[in-house]
A and B are shown apart, each in its own frame.
Chain A
Amino acid sequence: MDKSRIAIIDGNEAAAYIAYKTNEVCAIYPITPSSPMGEWADEWSAAGRRNIWGTVPLVVEMQSEGGAAGAVHGALQTGALTTTFTASQGLLLMIPNMYKIAGELTPTVFHVSARSLACQALSIFGDHSDVMAVRQTGFALLASASVQEVMDMALIAQASTLRARVPFLHFFDGFRTSHEVAKIEMISEDQIRALIPDDLVLERRRRAMTPDRPVLRGTAQNPDVYFQGREAVNPFYAHTPAVVQGVMDEFAKVVGRSYHLFDYYGAPNAERVIVLMGSGAETAMDTAEYLTRRLGEKVGVVVVRLYRPFDGAAFVARLPKTVRAIAVLDRTKEPGSAGEPLYLDVVAAVHEAVAAGTMARETAPTIVGGRYGLSSKEFTPAMVKAVFDELQKTSPKNHFTIGIHDDVSHTSLEYDPHFITESDRTIRAMFFGLGADGTVGANKNSIKIIGEETDLYAQGYFVYDSKKAGSRTVSHLRFGPEPLRAPYLIQSANFIGCHQFIFLEQVDVLKYAKPGATFLLNSSPYAPEEVWDHLPRKVQEQIISKNIRLFAMDGSRVALAAGMGSRVNTIMQTCFFAISGVLPREEAIEKIKQAIKKTYGRKGEEIVRKNFQAVDMTLENLKEIPVPATATSTREIPPVVPDEAPAFVKEVLAPIMAGEGDDLPVSKMPADGTFPTGTTRWEKRNISLFVPVWDEQECIQCGHCTLVCPHACIRAKKYPANALVGAPPTFKSVEWKDKNEPGLRYTIQVSVEDCTGCGLCVEVCPKKSKTRVGHKAVNMAEKEPIWEAEKANWAFFLRLPDGDRGALDLSSIKDIQFAQPLFEFSGACTGCGETPYVKILSQLFGDRALIANATGCSSIYGGNLPTTPWTVNAAGRGPAWSNSLFEDNAEFGFGFRLTLDKHREFACELLLQLQSQIGESLVRELIEAPQRTEAELAAQRARVRTLKEKLAALRTPAARHLEAIADHLVRKSVWIVGGDGWAYDIGYGGLDHVLASGRNVNVLVLDTEVYSNTGGQASKSTPRAAVAKFAASGKPFGKKDLGMMAMCYGNVYVARISLGANPRQALKAFLEAEAYDGPSLIIAYSHCIAHGINMQKGFDQQKAAVNSGHWLLFRYNPDLGAQGGNPLTIDSKPPSIPLKDYVYAETRYKMLTLSKPDEAARLLELAEADVQRRWKLYQQWLNQPEAAPATAG
């Protein structure tokens, strides 16, 4: 490696680097795991970095990947060197344009971090399902297997496309390669220029559309010539493999690394060969080498680089002549096919070689195909060995799977997980941390330090769970003198760091510890000296039996003392360097400090100072703990879920919770992706050290705390006094203060094990103690002392009767506290601004709601395994929830409505048909009875029950049909839920159409004004002056007024709400929207972690947003218009605080004042003008209702 060009980067950055240097235009749309490529390009563009021709590329964010592909196509047609980055569903949305771009022989490279497709479930992780779905478009497909290769192949693709004119898709494995941090050698600009001579670029310009040399491209062709036209491209495709090989050869000369269309590794006389592409190839190569060298096995691997156009002859030529059996591994699944794509290509290539006589029929190898690694499923040397072993059999299994246990179709091969090939010379370290404690960031720094300061190769890969609050991270770091060909998680660690003591009870931290390994434990809350006795027995046993050296550090205490809060990262990192000996101790400390300076220096000396202090305090507090000969602990690891959990939860979900989902066999998984709801209640995460405590004497029973709780952890019930029989001793209960309901008792109860400690309940509590105004009716307190008692209290509370829902006034905050939330304990961020709305929806309509949920935060906290917060009431009814895609959510929910409407109509027809048997009055009531109130709905449910009883006695097909759809006679509530990225951008076309349909659907837009789930990219909802990704200099334009656009239809109910500013208006809007027999749109201000605020003050910011006039509250009810009234009600008062008082309390705005103060001032002024203009516009509309469009008649 050329030391001067060493870089420690991940695959995404490697691809973006080449793409940026060799293009002029980049049109993208964020999608995991490709988003960082676009973000890098945007950041470099914003910083004025230039491409190899000395100009700053233009980077634009589009409204969808379909839009990005269209923009790319247009820019290409007009001659700009153009690229894009995408993955998964995004790539699917590009397909139509890909056919066009290829059909027109337009050079470009799309860089794809390959990812699974949404089938039975969405998955953000890596496999080749997406790229395999575009193999027919005419794009060339070039695969990379490692971070270094990503950089190399990105350039080879770019150089090839300009020569071949065929467009290229360059792909690498999502997460495994896109997010792996590795030490690589950068390609210099001169080297890039050497491979992309200017004449190729100029040639490209000559084919550009221009009115100065007009041509027509994009004709319509008829049966007479279309076919011939399609065949006219053949020479280009025939030529492409040679072009690519030519570029690879040139690349080898310029850069020094050599590649071929197909590369072979292993024994020259191999009899068994595995064929595959992507990161798995590295594992296969490494294993083949191990088996060949150490065990003398005759095995080898063919790594596919250029997958399309598939050069069968080149493939066959690359096979050793001795090959007897081939296993082709596909990282995708094509149900119903004769085999997965790469397998079929290999079969065809060998068959054609035999037919052509280049391979003898008698010696032609047996070929089998297998699937591996779907959704980043681990692919290890043990699995590679199992495949090689299978090939030794006389008739190896075909269409096998490897890496899972398939007890349904019995496709899987057995493998021995103890087969580990990791070199003794490699340092392998695993760190268990919390997202919030900074472990991952510190490890990234460690990799940089070691990679840059030593000759060691370095690799880092990071695993996150799917929770947004209290998420756990596991870092996998390797350092070694040889190149690290190990794109899989560490299986045998010689260093383990556990940065949170609680993990010892939650995950098997030492499972992968190698005998003699070093174990570094953050012993807090215990001192190092006393920690041994607090270890669970199993951990003690592991330490003893594996002869592990134990080091402990009271990390959290030291962090606190150094002013670092909960971030133990720097402390634990220092410990790692002190113990591991990767670098001499003094040098390591010096380098850590340099890294700290580099990481934090830009944000102020103070942070640097504190981190330095933490480093200095660390070493004196680090202790090696003597390990006794026998385990003495009586602490057992508690079961993952309690015994009373349902069987499915115990057998399927609990192993996933415990991190053992990999061991679940196929038979345990629902074949169609259907899961029970109501499962978060079994996942007690205990992530907060502080929880609210109710002061029943202070409480005024207003219910605000229960209304705002994002996780539905604080609840209220009123109940008869005799229900208190058997209450635990500390259970609190007071008289219900309502003269109309004398004698009832009242309790507010907290589920302390589910609480995330956001403190919003305390913030909104309006009651202050008369003697101590800082004390409220709800106050945060340490959980530990009350944990056990409150667990029992919660269990008792759940058993208390729920009361009569029909007697509640659901438009009143005081009453809605008693409506059971059917959305609870989600994995959303601590203090989430979205979930309170979702919870209210569930309280108001949950037992008859069908919810279509756009992909995004709400689909992740709503539906990411292992558990779902959507739940059922005592009658077993609750929201039926589904996520289709991101872009189609309005249409998806609209489909729900079509079924409901059709089935109600059909049910009514059947009722009339069967009227004589059912009874005329029941039929009339079933069809005509009003269902507006809870009481009326209950009455209708009773009628349906009677109907079903009567139908049971009937023996006609009509009766059976009616039985099947009779439930549709009870009014259902269709909700289409999603974020602003969906509603304003990617799904807007569909949303617009659905709103225009007149059908009775309800749309809830959880408006965070940014793409939250993918990490803060600007949407059309992002306000002017706010900073977001792709708006690093502040969003220059104002926020789209989705509400006003919808109002223009006249027959759409529209409301803009803010729970923090006006909860009563929010409730009213929900009820009115649902009651309106037509389309309804609610736009809900949702504060968000992506705003850069103290989430505990989320509702204060909501108020400020409204008071400043940024978020104008209104309701537009066409029913009022139809009755001759004014359909528009403005629920906001005129702006009463300056906009800056609102916006500069948020980092998304404030950071611009620190990075570009003048621009911040300019945009603020414009944003202030926006507020004034908006207020005037709405006032005009309010005062001149006739100016508004005609309302529904």
Chain B
Amino acid sequence: MDLRTTYLGLNLRNPIVPSSSPLSQRLDDIRQLEDAGAPAVVMFSIFEEQIRHDAEALEHLLTAGTDSFAEALSYFPDVGSYKVGTEKYLELISSAKAAVDIPIIGSINGISPEGWTDYAMEIERAGASALELNAYYIATDPDRSGAEIEQMYVDVVRAVKNAVRIPVAMKLSPFFSSTAHMARRLAEAGADGLVMFNRFYQPDFDLDEMEVRSDLNLSTPQEMRLPLRWIAILHGRVSCSLAATTGVHSGRDAAKYLLAGADAVMTCSALLKNGIGHLRVMLRELEEWMASKEYTSVVEMKGAMSQKNVANPAAFERANYIKILEEYKGRYTTV
């Protein structure tokens, strides 16, 4: 079975890529991912805001109370240097690059124009094969229009593309008035790929403590419907690669995205839940399914069920309840 695919111009030995997650925080895990069959690894994201915050917090907490009291002019030993900012991240990319043969894809979440480009260049220098821009932005300001936000995304892609030579993908949120148009604009701005979609930390309420909690639950296969729709719609309509992410827990889930037209399928929750070795299982499942449908290569199945290629393209465009009403009638009956 030929599982090879091309994503961001990178030749991958199969399409199931471990997505940006804590799985890439340790070199050992990256090695294990490669051993389990990962064709590439997207590194966990570095958050510009977090880096700034951490640096400030470290400085504040190391110096709080110093030079104030004659007996205790400091409270911590001077240990020389700290691996703050991107240093640790870049070291990991370099060592991963040396340790494995698969492409390493860096991931950034910036908040300032120089944040995006500076980190992008550092990651490129560290040896990353490609870059994923994790555009994680919640537009809360009522004075900022959708157009402004969209322009911001486009500007980020342009700036980063100007700054680096490695391919750049943008991981998008699904919340655009016109997702298809946005995808095209980003591709035109130079994006080599689009990753669909970013999952946000959604707030929850703790009713006992009466507090707002914010955490990320692992995805479920049910959540793949939204990206599935948009991959299927965009396949063949944008000039760049498409990667699907969210809800990929089995080889069969991966098959769905590939059929929709994804060039790569990202998975994370399944590996966090079942362990890195689960990647092998997923690949086997994918092969088994392909075999059962007599596919011989991924290229062959890619986009087979995209909007362009299905019998009822309107299915992707209608809301669910309409679809249910239609199905009640029976697809082929005339009565």
Distance of A828 from chain B, by nearest CB (Å): 11
Task: Give Cα A1024 to B75, complex, Å.
Answer: 18
A435→B55 contact, CB < 8 A: no
Chain A residues with Cβ below 8 Å from B51 are: 604, 606
Please tell me if A39 contacts chain B, counting CB pairs below 8 Å. yes
Q: Which residue of A lies closest to B72 (CB)?
A: A1015
Distance of B72 from chain A, by nearest CB (Å): 3
A1014→B72 contact, CB < 8 A: yes
B78→A43 contact, CB < 8 A: yes
Contact A1092-B59, Cβ < 8 Å, known A435-B69, A1157-B88: no
Q: Which of A466, A604, A1092 has the most CB of B within 10 A?
A: A604
- The 8 A CB mask of A464-477 against B (1 = contact, 0 = none) is 10111001010000
Please tell me if A105 contacts chain B, counting CB pairs below 8 Å. no
Please tell me if A562 contacts chain B, counting CB pairs below 8 Å. no
Task: Give Cα A124 to B64, complex, Å.
Answer: 22
A1014→B62 contact, CB < 8 A: no
Query: Which residue of A1013, A1028, A1151 is within 8 Å of B71 (Cβ)?
Result: A1013
A464→B70 contact, CB < 8 A: yes
Task: Give Cα A467 to B73, complex, Å.
Answer: 13
A605→B55 contact, CB < 8 A: yes
Please tell me if B67 contacts chain A, counting CB pairs below 8 Å. yes
A603→B70 contact, CB < 8 A: no
Task: Give Cα A462 to B78, complex, Å.
Answer: 21
Chain A residues with Cβ below 8 Å from B210 are: 768, 773
A1154→B56 contact, CB < 8 A: no
Distance of A211 from chain B, by nearest CB (Å): 37
Chain A residues with Cβ below 8 Å from B59 are: 600, 603-604, 607
Distance of A249 from chain B, by nearest CB (Å): 38
Distance of B10 from chain A, by nearest CB (Å): 29
Task: Give Cα A97 to B51, complex, Å.
Answer: 52
Query: Which residue of B54, B58, B65 is within 8 Å of A1089 (Cβ)?
Result: B65
A606→B77 contact, CB < 8 A: no
Task: Give Cα A1121 to B259, complex, Å.
Answer: 73
Please tell me if A1093 contacts chain B, counting CB pairs below 8 Å. yes
A468→B68 contact, CB < 8 A: yes
Distance of A230 from chain B, by nearest CB (Å): 39
Query: Which residue of B68, B76, B211 is within 8 Å of A435 (Cβ)?
Result: B68
Task: Give Cα A39 to B75, complex, Å.
Answer: 11
Please tell me if A1148 contacts chain B, counting CB pairs below 8 Å. yes
Contact A1147-B85, Cβ < 8 Å, known A42-B77, A43-B78, A46-B77: no
Task: Give Cα A179 to B67, complex, Å.
Answer: 12
Chain B residues numbered 39-95 whose CB sits less than 8 Å from any CB in chain A: 51-52, 54-56, 58-85, 88
B82→A440 contact, CB < 8 A: no
B66→A441 contact, CB < 8 A: yes
Distance of A1158 from chain B, by nearest CB (Å): 11
Size class of the contact patch on chain B:
35 or more
Contact A39-B69, Cβ < 8 Å, known A604-B55, A606-B56, A1147-B61: no
Query: Which residue of A464, A604, A1031 is within 8 Å of B68 (Cβ)?
Result: A464
Chain B residues with Cβ below 8 Å from A817 are: none
Chain A residues with Cβ below 8 Å from B85 are: 604-606
Chain B residues with Cβ below 8 Å from A610 are: 56
Chain A residues numbered 532-553 whose CB sits less than 8 Å from any CB in chain B: none
Task: Give Cα A603 to B81, complex, Å.
Answer: 7
Chain B residues with Cβ below 8 Å from A1032 are: 77, 79
Task: Give Cα A1016 to B71, complex, Å.
Answer: 10
Task: Give Cα A773 to B83, complex, Å.
Answer: 39
Q: Which residue of A lies closest to B211 (CB)?
A: A773
Query: Which residue of A42, A434, A436, A1147 is within 8 Å of B58 (Cβ)?
Result: A1147
Q: Which of A441, A1013, A1028, A1151 has the most CB of B within 10 A?
A: A1151
Task: Give Cα A1093 to B64, complex, Å.
Answer: 9
Distance of A238 from chain B, by nearest CB (Å): 41
Chain B residues with Cβ below 8 Å from A42 are: 77
Q: Which residue of A lies closest to B60 (CB)?
A: A565
A604→B58 contact, CB < 8 A: yes
- The 8 A CB mask of A243-282 against B (1 = contact, 0 = none) is 0000000000000000000000000000000000000000
Q: Which residue of A lies closest to B81 (CB)?
A: A602
Task: Give Cα A435 to B211, complex, Å.
Answer: 35
Chain A residues with Cβ below 8 Å from B88 are: 1154, 1157
Chain B residues with Cβ below 8 Å from A46 are: 77, 79
Task: Give Cα A124 to B70, complex, Å.
Answer: 9
Secondary structure of the B side of the interface?
loop
Q: Which residue of A lies closest to B56 (CB)?
A: A606
Chain A residues with Cβ below 8 Å from B60 are: 565
Task: Give Cα A462 to B211, complex, Å.
Answer: 46
Query: Which residue of A175, A438, A605, A1090 is within 8 Å of B70 (Cβ)?
Result: A175
Contact A1155-B83, Cβ < 8 Å, known A604-B55, A1032-B77: yes
Please tell me if A240 contacts chain B, counting CB pairs below 8 Å. no
Please tell me if A1102 contacts chain B, counting CB pairs below 8 Å. no
Contact A473-B77, Cβ < 8 Å, known A607-B55, A773-B210: no
Q: Which residue of A lies closest to B74 (CB)?
A: A1015
Q: Which residue of A lies closest to B118 (CB)?
A: A605
Chain B residues with Cβ below 8 Å from A607 are: 55-56, 59
Task: Give Cα A319 to B81, complex, Å.
Answer: 53
- The 8 A CB mask of A145-184 against B (1 = contact, 0 = none) is 0000000000000000000000000000001000100000
Chain B residues with Cβ below 8 Å from A1157 are: 83, 88
Task: Give Cα A1151 to B85, complex, Å.
Answer: 13
Q: Which residue of B lies closest to A175 (CB)?
A: B70
Query: Which residue of B71, B75, B80 is within 8 Å of A1090 (Cβ)?
Result: B75
A1089→B64 contact, CB < 8 A: yes
Query: Which residue of B61, B76, B80, B83 is within 8 Å of A1093 (Cβ)?
Result: B61
B76→A604 contact, CB < 8 A: no
Contact A602-B56, Cβ < 8 Å, known A124-B71, A473-B68: no
Chain B residues with Cβ below 8 Å from A467 are: 69
Task: Give Cα A890 to B58, complex, Å.
Answer: 38
Contact A602-B82, Cβ < 8 Å, known A124-B71, A607-B56, A773-B210: yes
Please tell me if A1012 contacts chain B, counting CB pairs below 8 Å. yes
B81→A1155 contact, CB < 8 A: yes
A32→B70 contact, CB < 8 A: yes
A602→B67 contact, CB < 8 A: no
Query: Which residue of B55, B61, B69, B82 is within 8 Å of A1092 (Cβ)?
Result: B61
Please tell me if A47 contacts chain B, counting CB pairs below 8 Å. yes
Chain B residues with Cβ below 8 Å from A1147 are: 58, 61-62, 76
Distance of B91 from chain A, by nearest CB (Å): 9
Chain A residues with Cβ below 8 Å from B211 are: 773
Q: Which of B61, B66, B85 has the most CB of A within 10 A?
A: B61
Task: Give Cα A1016 to B65, complex, Å.
Answer: 11
A603→B55 contact, CB < 8 A: yes
Please tell me if A1029 contacts chain B, counting CB pairs below 8 Å. yes
A1015→B68 contact, CB < 8 A: no
Distance of B326 from chain A, by nearest CB (Å): 46
Q: Which of B55, B61, B73, B211 has the most CB of A within 10 A?
A: B73
A interface list, Cβ under 8 A from B? 32-33, 35-36, 39, 42-43, 46-47, 124, 175, 179, 434-436, 438-441, 462, 464, 466-468, 471, 473, 565, 600, 602-607, 610, 768, 773, 829, 860, 1012-1016, 1027-1032, 1089-1090, 1092-1094, 1147-1148, 1150-1151, 1154-1155, 1157
Q: List 20 additional A-B contacts (Cβ < 8 Å) besides A610-B56, A1092-B75.
A: A32-B70, A36-B73, A124-B71, A438-B63, A473-B68, A602-B81, A602-B84, A603-B55, A604-B52, A606-B55, A607-B55, A1012-B72, A1013-B71, A1015-B71, A1029-B76, A1032-B77, A1092-B61, A1092-B62, A1151-B82, A1155-B81
17 A-B contacts (beta carbon < 8 Å): A43-B78, A46-B77, A46-B79, A440-B67, A464-B69, A473-B67, A605-B85, A606-B56, A829-B65, A1015-B71, A1027-B77, A1031-B77, A1032-B79, A1089-B65, A1090-B76, A1151-B79, A1157-B83
B interface list, Cβ under 8 A from A? 51-52, 54-56, 58-85, 88, 210-211
By Cβ-Cβ distance, the 5 closest A-B pairs, closest first, are A435-B68, A604-B55, A1015-B72, A440-B67, A1016-B75
